[in-house]
Amino acid sequence: MKTTRIKSTLTLLALASALSACAPVMVGSVVGTAMVASDRRTSGAQLEDEGIEVRAGSAIRENFGTNANVSVTSFNRQVLITGEVPNAAARAQVESLISKLPNVRSVVNELAIGQASTAGQRATDALTTTRVKAAMVDSNDIFANTFKVVTERDTVYLMGRVTQREAARATEIARKVSSVKRVVRVFEIITEEELKALLPKPPKQEPTTPQPVLSGTGQPVTTQVPATTSPVR
């Protein structure tokens, strides 16, 4: 029984990696549909988010070492903090450190006060994230690649630049996953008009040159005029 559980866990963890790798391929096949499948952040915002996460990780390690279990997720410069810290003072200090980092627009502090989660709980959270992403992939009305999913202690956090319609649908999908106890929405809401503006524009069609009329044999129709000679006078 234990061997079966281990194999199942490894399979689901492998699926988690496969989902993120497959998403761009799936996106490429549906470009031009009614939704924007790719990441809706600008390339500059994506780089800034990566920088925020790296700097935040360094700051937390320097100030807390192994005394805190903190995860930092930045999306469009909005930073979500999850994990566990030993006391309220540490919770406030982590938020203060991150809010002072360059390019941080806002901070959502979801840190819990208490002991760090166990390895088993973290594995369960990773599998929950996988199941939520898989459910989004299976749906026909949203794109999984548009959303960032974070799970901490069976609570699912949803991030992304989405419309109210997309936010409601993603929340509904996440709530139906059996291992999810709570869903927290950390969205940046955009209008349907803003979504349309993000859609790829259709390519311009080059004007066509008129072709000669063809005969039934596939050859251009030509008219032959017989040569005439005038009498010599």
Q: Where are the domains of the chain?
A: 2-198
Q: With a cut of 70, list the residues of the chain below it in pLDDT.
A: 1-37, 209-233
pLDDT at res. 199: 80
pLDDT at res. 38: 74
pLDDT at res. 219: 54
Mean pLDDT of the chain: 82
pLDDT tens digit sequence for 99-150: 999 999 999 999 999 999 999 999 999 999 999 999 999 998 998 999 999 9
| Closest alpha carbon to 184 in 109, 100, 96 | 109
pLDDT at res. 214: 58
Put simply, whether the predicted model's pTM sits higher than 0.75 gets the answer: no
pLDDT at res. 182: 98
pLDDT at res. 32: 39
| Residue 23: half-sphere exposure toward Cβ, Cα within 13 Å | 22
pLDDT at res. 185: 98
Four-residue CA torsion sign, 15, 82, 194, 45: negative
